Amino acid sequence: MPTPDFVLALRERLGHDLLWMPGVTAVVRDGRGRVLLARRSDNGRWGLVSGILEPGEQPADGLLREIEEETGVVARIEALAGVWTQPEVTYPNGDRAQYADLCFLARYDSGEARVNDDESTEVGWFAVDALPEGLAPNSRRKLATALAFDGRTRFEGDGYAAVPGGRACVAGAAAPGPLAVLQPGDVTLRRATADDVRAVVALIADDQLGASREDPRDLTAYLRAFAAIDADPSQLLVVLDDGGVVVGTMQLSFIPGLSRGGAMRGQVEAVRVAASHRSRRLGEQMIRWAVDESARRGCALVQLTTDKSRGDAHRFYERLGFTASHEGFKLRLDPP
C-alpha cells in the first residue's frame, strides 16, 4: 500500500524531522518450511513482508492485512518472535523515520503468492538454505531470530536475545552462539545449521543400525527434513562442536498432550557422539542439558526410545535416572 494518510498528514507538520512509528514484520512459512519474501520496488532488495500499523490497529490484524495486501497470501499468526527498535532510516526524499518493530511468526493458510500491489516487483517462497541474493541484512537478522524461536519472545537488552550473526541455515550468516560449554575442554553445544547436516547424517550412519538405514551420499532428503525441523519451534536439533568440527548430535522435540493433566513432554531422539570423543562424558552432559531445557520449557517428563540391541545405551540412560517403564512398538510404513 502507499504511504498511509496519517503519515502524510504528520509530514505536513513535521517536514523531514524524525518520525517514530510502530512497524510489523512477518516470517511466513508454508508446509514445506519455506519462507515468504518480496522484492521491494523502491530499492530492488528482497525482504520479509512488513508494514506500518494504522492508528488504533491491533498489531496482529495489521500484519495479516499487510501480508494479504502485498502478496495475496492469507496467513495466521503463530507467535511473537521478537521486539526491537530499528536503526533510524533516511528516505531518498529526506524523510527521517525510526520504527518499533514487532516480528511475528506466521503460517500459510491459503492464497497464491504473487505481486499484489505496487510495493513489490517479485514475490516468492524460498527454502531457508536457498535464500535469494541481495536479501536485506535487516530481514536476514529478523529471519534468523524468528527461526531460532523457542517459545520465548526475544528482545534487545535481555541478555538472551542475540543470535550472533544469525544462523548458518540463513545463507551467508555465521553459526549461532553456544547453548552450553561442556567440560572438560571447549566443546560447545549449539543449534545445528544446514552446513552441519552432512556431519550429522554421518554420525547417525556411523553404527551398525544406522549404516543399514542412512545414505550420506545424497543429502537432498536430509536437507529437506532439516528445513522442516529448523522451521518448527517445537523441534530443536543440536550438535556438539569441537573447534568447528561436529562431534555429536541430538534432536529434542516438545510435544503437547492431554494426558497427565495436559502436560508437555520432551522427546529425545538420535543421540550420537563421535567415537573419537566418547568416554569424555559429553553424551551425559548433552542429555542433562536436554532434561534442563525440557524443564525450562514447562515439560512434565522427558522420554526417549533406544533399540533393544543397544545394551550399553540402556545402562547409560538408567544411570542418568531414566527408567524402562514402557514397551515401545514401531510400525514401518512404505511410501505411497
What is the SS3 assignment for 244-273? CEEEEEEEEEEECCCHHHHCEEEEEEEEEE
Buried b (16+ CB within 10 A) or exposed e, 134-172: ebbebbbbbbbbbbbbbeebbeeeeeebebebbbbbbbe
Supply the pLDDT for residue 300.
94
**End-to-end CA separation in angstroms for the chain:** 44
CATH number at residue 68: 3.90.79.10
Question: Is residue 42 a part of any domain in this protein?
Answer: yes
Q: Which residues make beta-bridge pairs with 108?
A: 75
Q: What's phi and psi for 302, nearest 5 deg?
A: -120, 135
10-residue stretch averages of pLDDT, the chain, 336 residues long: 82 92 94 90 89 93 95 94 87 88 94 91 89 84 79 63 36 58 83 91 83 81 87 90 93 94 94 91 94 91 92 93 92 84
Question: Is residue 161 a part of any domain in this protein?
Answer: no
Supply the pLDDT for residue 284.
95
Supply the pLDDT for residue 170.
41
> Three-state SS for 332?
coil
In total, the chain counts a number of residues equal to 336
> What is the distance between the alpha carbons of residues 242 and 244, in angstroms, rounded to a whole number?
6
Q: Identify whether residues 11 and 148 lie together within a single domain.
A: yes
Check the CA dihedral 303-304-308-310 and report its sign: negative
- Grid coordinates given for 75: 496467513
The residue behind cell 534442563 is 292
Question: Is residue 185 a part of any domain in this protein?
Answer: yes
| Contact (Cβ atoms closer than 8 angstroms) between residue 293 and residue 255 | no
Task: Fill in the DSSP letter of residue 135.
Answer: B
With 0-12 / 13-18 / 19 or more C-beta atoms within 10 angstroms meaning exposed / middle / buried, residue 288 is middle
Q: Identify whether residues 74 and 213 lie together within a single domain.
A: no
Q: Identify whether residues 42 and 143 lie together within a single domain.
A: yes
Task: Fill in the DSSP letter of residue 195.
Answer: G
Tell me, rounded to whole angstroms, the distance of Cα 254 from its chain centroid: 14
Does the pTM exceed 0.95? no
Q: Identify whether residues 222 and 291 lie together within a single domain.
A: yes
Domains identified in the chain, total number: 2
Going by DSSP bridges, is the β-strand pair 19-29/96-110 parallel, antiparallel, or unpaired?
parallel
Q: Identify whether residues 148 and 16 lie together within a single domain.
A: yes
> What is the distance between the alpha carbons of residues 270 and 306, in angstroms, rounded to a whole number?
9
Question: Is residue 101 a part of any domain in this protein?
Answer: yes
Question: Is residue 196 a part of any domain in this protein?
Answer: yes
Question: Is residue 329 a part of any domain in this protein?
Answer: no
Tell me, rounded to whole angstroms, the distance of Cα 336 from its chain centroid: 30
> What is the distance between the alpha carbons of residues 129 and 159, in angstroms, rounded to a whole number?
28
- Grid coordinates given for 110: 491459503
Position 334, amino acid: D
Going by DSSP bridges, is the β-strand pair 120-126/35-40 parallel, antiparallel, or unpaired?
antiparallel
CATH number at residue 259: 3.40.630.30
Q: Identify whether residues 286 and 236 lie together within a single domain.
A: yes
Q: Identify whether residues 150 and 186 lie together within a single domain.
A: no
Q: Identify whether residues 133 and 193 lie together within a single domain.
A: no
Q: Identify whether residues 150 and 9 lie together within a single domain.
A: yes
Q: Identify whether residues 254 and 141 lie together within a single domain.
A: no
Q: Identify whether residues 201 and 105 lie together within a single domain.
A: no
> Three-state SS for 310?
coil
Question: Is residue 255 a part of any domain in this protein?
Answer: yes
The domain in which residue 110 lies consists of: 5-155
Supply the pLDDT for residue 220.
87
Q: Identify whether residues 110 and 217 lie together within a single domain.
A: no
Task: Fill in the DSSP letter of residue 166.
Answer: -
Question: Is residue 165 a part of any domain in this protein?
Answer: no
Q: What's phi and psi for 8, nearest 5 deg?
A: -60, -40
